[in-house]
Structure 1
Amino acid sequence: MTNFRSHRKLAMSSVAAAALALAGCTNAESEPTASAPLTSSASDSEDRNSDAKAFKASDGAMTAVPTGTAPQSEAPSPDAALAVTDMLVTSHDGFDRVIYELGGTGTPGWRADIVETAVQQGSGHTITVNGQGILQVLIDGSSIPSTIGIEPYSGPNPLEVENPGVVTEVQEAGVFEGTTQTLIGLSKPDVSFHVYSLSDPTRLVVDVAH
């Protein structure tokens, strides 16, 4: 913060000097820069909350850098009825992590593969994805949020990544016939990745190697 000093002649009565000193204090309190620490503190608090949320979402996740490029799949549990409630992207040593938080019952299944073009399920419309490559992740065992009493994801869609590593953005493209379609934009066309689920709370995690 910049300090301002006022140079004044001191040839004045003690009463006048006291009055000027009091006026100086009043002026200092009215400086607009006094609000800067409050703004900074609020921003820092938001960052801490965001970091804490990401740390909690990653609880129990793997730490090894993924090495496989082949398509990956897993069947959902028979009772699965899930909906995406949040999406997060975090950066780690050697890989980026995409986390889908899920509400509902059961365990999700998935089908993940690198695709050349993103085509929306049901409509057949082409979806534009920011990046040089696309990792499509289909979350099986999904339901339309309103049918299972779940508040749907309401954040940015696509979720764009600031200062991206390998993951540039994540899109949720809707639910069709029990599957939520999601698309992960990549900064390069071919990547190694690993998909797995976590419980308490239910999450689907996608680790993508740098």
Structure 2
Amino acid sequence: MTMDPTIHSVRAGRSVRPGAVAKSRGGARRTASLIAGGAALAMLMLAGCGGAPTAPQAPTASPPIGTAPAPPSAGSTAEESSPDARALQPPTSQREIEVKRATESPALVTGVRFAGHPGFDRVVIDLRHAVPGYSVRWVDEFVQDGSGKIIKTRGKAYLQVALSPANAHTETGDSTWTGGPVYPTGLTNVLNVVRIGDFEAVVGVGLALNRRAGFRVFSQSSPDRLVIDVAH
């Protein structure tokens, strides 16, 4: 009996016909072609779905928060509604200030506050209605408006603030700024705040200082107030 020649597979340990080997090789070629074609098609589909990746955008800088217009330099008749970061620095000018302003009705002084800051002391005159005109000048002593009496207070330099038109009393005559007339502060340079007077639509406020130093003045609103900073 005649038998077909065989090819022995060493690894499998079995015989394989030559025709079967040819068929197997042909099937492998077709499988490889299908895989290559599928990969190319997938790449084309990915390219069609989107372009090149975009570079990340740099974050935009946010504007600083809380900044405000600059205050006037001491000695100027102009003023701003509120200070900026420069108002946190000690003032240097000792020039006197005068601001004239017309208002519909006199401002009402309701009290005076004070506090220490790094390099300067701050005095705040609280008001009802708009901030009126004012002047700030150096004096030798505090003289009470109306009576002309000298108000004695501890200090080596004296800064006097006058607001006009302004009152420190109601229409019935009740005082809206009580106490005093001398208010000790416990601060570094502003030793005492003095209620000088409330006479003929002029309210006088005195600052008794430990030494003569630079100062600045500016107004603020909501609520209305006049701010005086005095360097240490």
RMSD: 2.1
| 1:152 counterpart (143, 156, 176) | 176
Instruction: Give the conservation status (yes or no) of the 8 Å contact 1:107–1:141.
Output: no
Summarize deviations over 1:156-206 as a string: whole Å, max 9, x none.
5421012x2000010112212211011111011x21111111111010110
Counterpart of 2:163?
A: 139
Alignment TM-score, normalising by the size of structure 2: 0.58
Check 1:111–1:161 CA distance in 2 against 1; reply closer, same or farther (3 A cut): same
Q: CA–CA distance in 1 between the matches of 2:219 and 2:105?
A: 13
Confirm whether residue 115 of structure 1 aligns to residue 139 of structure 2.
yes
Correspondence for 2:95: 70
Distance in structure 1 (CA, Å) of the matches to 2:96 and 2:224: 22
CA offset digits 1:50-92 (Å, max 9, x no partner) = xxxxxxxxxx553232111111011133224112212111111
Q: 2:213 aligns with which of 188, 191, 194?
A: 191
Partner of 1:200: 222
The 2-side partners of 1:170 and 1:154 are apart by: 13
Task: Determine if contact 2:146/2:197 at 8 Å carries over to the other structure.
Answer: no
CA drift at 1:109: 1.5
Q: Deviations over 1:115-171 (max 9, x none)?
A: 112122222211112211111111112035212898602245421012x20000101
Q: Aligned equivalents of 1:139 and 1:182: distance in 2?
A: 8
Question: Could you list the runs of 5+ residues in structure 1 that have no partner in the other structure?
Answer: 1-59
The 8 Å contact of residues 87 and 99 in structure 1, kept in 2 or not, is answered as yes
CA distance in 2, matches of 1:80, 1:64: 34
Asked whether the equivalents of residues 213 and 231 of structure 2 are also in contact (C-alpha less than 8 Å), the reply is yes
Greater Rg over alpha carbons, structure: 2
Q: Which runs of 5+ in 2 are unaligned?
A: 1-81
Instruction: Report the more deviating stretch, 200-209 or 152-161.
Output: 152-161
Q: Under a length normalisation based on structure 1, what TM-score does the superposition of the two structures give?
A: 0.64
Q: Report the identity percentage.
A: 30
Q: Kindly state the Cα deviation for residue 100 of structure 1 after the two structures are TM-superposed.
A: 0.7
More helix by share: 1
Q: Which AA in structure 1 matches 2:142?
A: A
Aligned to 1:34: none
Secondary structure class of the residue paired with 2:170: helix
> Are 1:108 and 1:197, in contact at CA under 8 Å, matched by a contact in 2?
no
Number of residue pairs matched by the alignment: 148
Q: Shift of residue 112 of structure 1?
A: 0.5
- Aligned residue for 1:83? 108
